[in-house]
Amino acid sequence: MRIKIQNELLAINILSVVLILTISFFPIQALRIILGLPFILFFPGYTLIAALFPKKSGLDAIERVALSFGLSIAVVPLIGLVLNYTPWGIRLYPILVSLTVFIAAMSAIAWYRRHGLPEQEKLNLILNLSLPRQESRLDRALSIVLILAIVGAIGTLGYVIASPRVGERFTEFYVLGLEGKAEGYPTELTVGEEGRVILGITNREHEIMGYEVKIKVDGVLQRRIGPVELEHEESWREQVGFVPQEPGEDQKVQFVLYKIRTLDAEDEPGPALHLWIDVKEGG
């Protein structure tokens, strides 16, 4: 049985839009994988090849498919590199939108170049689902092995994507000066004068976490901040202040982070940071 596809570019763009809608509104992991693999590994390269070689005689089917995979592997990292230098960064939706725009642009160029060609020169995909009648046992065995290898490779890749290995679990906790740098911390204060710094927390625990920060001056608890609830990869950053109550040199200002995994659980002590300040009598 032979199936003729006259406008595969339209189908590619429709599938790209369906992928975005699936990721945005339908959390179906299997569907995301089925649509996402060709979206990354095949569609960008295929549409680029279609724009460069609009004629049917330009490339044969095997060359077109092979170059589609190869160019997709080259194009996607380049788009990611460009995104890295933009305010959006390498994130899910910027990547989705950028690849969709690239696929649509290449499809439009390919369609325009095909539009002016004679009918016999236009590229049409033909899927031949029937097996050749005259085929040796060796050829048949090799074909079966090739099909099994392709299915196994796709299955393995899908499993790796669907069940990624969880990386190291940790929380970033830092103190910065008011200019957002690791300098400019308050070092000399008077009694009753407020010192201010910037506290930052980034959750890399691969789960939702609650956090609380306790600020101690010379061993005395002065204030609590939080609880702050963060998703995985979400960050919190805010100016906080502390006020020394007693004069003295080399007083230790501690910022102790506590992790709260559930509302009913006890605080889990995390990293602690500190500064040293000299406190003088007020004038």
The pLDDT assigned to 109 comes to 92
Same structural domain for residues 144 and 216?
no
- Residues spanned by the domain of 242: 170-280
Question: 79-102: per-residue pLDDT in tens?
Answer: 988 888 888 877 888 888 999 999
Quote the CA–CA distance of 211 and 226 in Å, as a whole number.
6
DSSP state of 165: P
Q: Which residues of the chain have pLDDT under 50?
A: 1-3, 127, 129, 131, 263-265
Quote the CA–CA distance of 216 and 246 in Å, as a whole number.
13
Same structural domain for residues 24 and 55?
yes
Quote the CA–CA distance of 147 and 56 in Å, as a whole number.
26
Indicate the pTM of the whole model. Answer: 0.50
- On whether the CB atoms of residues 247 and 279 are closer than 8 A, the answer is yes
The DSSP H or E segment spanning 137 is: helix 137-162
The pLDDT assigned to 201 comes to 92
Same structural domain for residues 185 and 243?
yes
The pLDDT assigned to 3 comes to 47
Same structural domain for residues 205 and 146?
no
| CA 185 to chain CA centroid, nearest Å | 34
The pLDDT assigned to 208 comes to 87
The pLDDT assigned to 269 comes to 67
The pLDDT assigned to 165 comes to 59
The pLDDT assigned to 29 comes to 75
The pLDDT assigned to 98 comes to 92
Domain final residue pick, 101, 129, 157: 129
Same structural domain for residues 275 and 210?
yes
Of 277, 172, 151, the residue nearest 232 (C-alpha)? 172
Same structural domain for residues 9 and 124?
yes
**Tokens representing 261?**
């995994």
Same structural domain for residues 248 and 262?
yes
The pLDDT assigned to 1 comes to 46
User: Please, what is the angle between helix 8-25 and helix 43-52, to 10°?
Assistant: 150
- On whether the CB atoms of residues 64 and 49 are closer than 8 A, the answer is yes
Question: 236-261: per-residue pLDDT in tens?
Answer: 999 999 998 889 899 999 999 988 86
Of 255, 258, 250, 260, the residue nearest 272 (C-alpha)? 255
